[in-house]
Amino acid sequence: MTTLHDRVRSSLYGARRWHPVEFIFWALALASFWLFPRHLLLMNEIAILALFALSLDLILGYAGIVSLGHAAFLGLGAYAAGLLAKHGIGDPLIGLLFAMIVSAVAGLLASPLVVKGNDLTRLMVTLGVALILHEVANSWASLTGGADGLQGITITPVLGLFQFDLFGKTAYLYSLSVVFVLFLVARRLVHSPFGLSLRAIRDNVLRASASGVPPSRRLAAIYTIAAAYAGAAGALMAQTTQFVSLDVLDFHRSADVMLVLIIGGPGYLYGGMIGAVVFKFLQDTIAAFTPQYWMFWIGLFLVLFVLKGRSLVHGGIASLLKHFPGLRMRKTP
């Protein structure tokens, strides 16, 4: 009995144990600061996109909620942080917290619509919420600056010590730290009883409720948390660029982040990170020779990826992960 008890413990521990590859991953992310000093601004964008994708992973990869409008919370966070800084409170950490709270409240308010429906209603509701916010930001120009964007944001140094600079040094380290901390929280979360119950709901909602899991409340909870994460990504965006444009709420943001997550693979937390690197690299390369028709190429990429590429890319990642039992890739919902 003691041996079985121990086996159960070590097996449950194995599922959440840190694998060496994870340490290497984060060490590389930090080392990039010195390795690519001329690309810090791009790397900052990657870190922010990775956080945004991590947020989507929490609802899509772990809870099976499809969203066509995740940019709603990104944009809300960006405007919240931007407006706070514009009106005198320029401390980045306070702004970050404020943005997360604002987005979380919005997520909580939207959650009853999202947790109820099937995939189709969810697509429509999420898309609708994002469109409403876009329209609000557009019409309420006295507050948001409308189509001209929100200007005049001044951010004070991080912790009162590190001033934001033109090369993105502070920006990258600040964003990377925030992403890392939020990643740690997410990692803890998905391996908790709460996280396990989300996977239960995603896998089989009938069995989940027959196992004592209340699906609606759990889904509302993770939707709220994910909204806060997206809000954090928005805040980082606003603070490190000191500008918020209407573009943060645009439909293409929601579509991009889905693509980012799908490239990397949902349901194991690192998908969004890997996807963000690949996506930004693609965007940079394509933009170098045909900037105006980026949308066409991204569309072609999506179509080919779903038709053929997924098995290729994920086959590669999965065969890599096979050597690392702690990092199992989950099936897509």
Partner 1 sequence: MLTILFDGIAYGMVLFVLACGLSVTMGLMNFVNLAHGAFAMLGGYIAVLLMQKAGAPFLLTLPAAFMGGAIVGLVLERLLYRPMYGKTHLDQVMFTIGIVFMAVAGADYLMGSSQQIIRLPSWLQGRFEIAGIGIGRYRLFVLCVCGLLAFSLQWGFTKTRFGSRLRASVDDARVARGLGIPVNRLFALTFAIGSGLAGLGGALGIELMGLDPSFPLKFMIYFLVVVTVGGTSTITGPFFAAMLLGVADVAGKYYVPEIGAFIIYVLMVVLLIARPEGLFARARS
Partner 2 sequence: MSIVLEARDLVKQFGGITATDHVNFTLEKGARHALIGPNGAGKTTFVNLLTGVLQPTAGSVVLNGEDISHLSREARVKRGMARTFQINQLFASMTPLEMIALVTSERLGYGTRPFNALDHDPLVLDGTADIIARFRLDDIMDAPIASLPYGKQRQVEIASTFAAHPNVLLLDEPAAGVPEAERRELLDIVAALPPDVSVVLIEHDMDIVFRFATRITVLVNGRVLAEGDPATIARDPRVKEAYLGEEASHA
C-alpha torsion 81→86→91→94, nearest 10: -40
Q: Establish if 196 lies at the interface with partner 2 (CB under 8 A).
A: yes
Q: Establish if 117 lies at the interface with partner 1 (CB under 8 A).
A: yes
Cβ-based neighbour number of residue 87 at 10 Å: 10
Residues of span 237-266 touching partner 1 by CB under 8 A: 251, 255, 258-259, 262
Q: Establish if 61 lies at the interface with partner 2 (CB under 8 A).
A: no
Q: Establish if 42 lies at the interface with partner 2 (CB under 8 A).
A: no
User: Looking at 139, 154, 204, 285, which residue binds partner 2 (CB under 8 A)?
Assistant: 204
For 150, the 3-state DSSP assignment is: strand
Helices 119-139 and 251-264: angle between axes, nearest 10 degrees: 140
Output 323 or 331, the one with its CB closest to partner 2.
331
Q: Establish if 322 lies at the interface with partner 2 (CB under 8 A).
A: no
Q: Establish if 206 lies at the interface with partner 2 (CB under 8 A).
A: yes
- Tokens 């991590």: give the residue: 54
Q: Establish if 305 lies at the interface with partner 1 (CB under 8 A).
A: yes
Cα of first residue to Cα of last residue in the chain, in angstroms, is: 36
Output the furthest CA–CA distance in the chain (Å, rounded).
Answer: 69
Binding-residue pattern over the window 3 to 22 for partner 2, x denoting contact by CB under 8 A:
-xx-xxxxxxx-xx------
Nearest distance, CB of residue 224 and partner 2, angstroms = 12
- Residue 49 CA to residue 253 CA, distance in Å, equals 10
What secondary structure does DSSP assign to 157-172, as a single string?
PBTTTB---TTSHHHH
User: Looking at 30, 42, 66, 101, which residue binds partner 1 (CB under 8 A)?
Assistant: 66
Q: Establish if 192 lies at the interface with partner 1 (CB under 8 A).
A: no
Which residue from 60, 55, 57 is spatially nearest to 73, judged by alpha carbons?
55
Q: Establish if 330 lies at the interface with partner 2 (CB under 8 A).
A: yes
- Tokens 């033109």: give the residue: 166
Output 61 or 75, the one with its CB closest to partner 2.
61
Binding-residue pattern over the window 122 to 141 for partner 1, x denoting contact by CB under 8 A:
-xxx-xx--xx--xx--x--
User: Looking at 307, 312, 319, 323, which residue binds partner 1 (CB under 8 A)?
Assistant: 307
The answer to whether 253 touches 247, Cβ cutoff 8 Å, is yes
Which residues lie closer than 8 Å to 15 by C-beta, 6 or more apart?
191, 326, 328
**Neighbour-count burial of 11, counting CB atoms closer than 10 A to its CB (0-12 exposed, 13-18 middle, 19+ buried):** exposed
Q: Establish if 176 lies at the interface with partner 1 (CB under 8 A).
A: no
- Residue 65 CA to residue 42 CA, distance in Å, equals 30
Q: Establish if 30 lies at the interface with partner 2 (CB under 8 A).
A: no
The answer to whether 51 touches 232, Cβ cutoff 8 Å, is yes
Residues of span 220-259 touching partner 2 by CB under 8 A: 221
Distances, alpha carbon 130 to alpha carbons 47, 57, 65, 222, 255, in Å: 23, 18, 16, 18, 12
- DSSP for residue 244: B
Residues that bind partner 1 (rule: CB under 8 A) add up to a total of 41
Nearest distance, CB of residue 26 and partner 2, angstroms = 20
Q: Establish if 159 lies at the interface with partner 1 (CB under 8 A).
A: no
E strands, the chain, are none
Output 287 or 303, the one with its CB closest to partner 1.
303
Nearest distance, CB of residue 223 and partner 2, angstroms = 14
Residues that bind partner 1 (CB under 8 A): 60, 66, 68, 112-113, 116-117, 119-121, 123-125, 127-128, 131-132, 135-136, 139, 251, 255, 258-259, 262, 293-296, 298-303, 305-307, 310, 332-333
Residues that bind partner 2 (CB under 8 A): 1, 4-5, 7-13, 15-16, 188-189, 191-197, 199-200, 202-204, 206-215, 218, 221, 267, 330-331
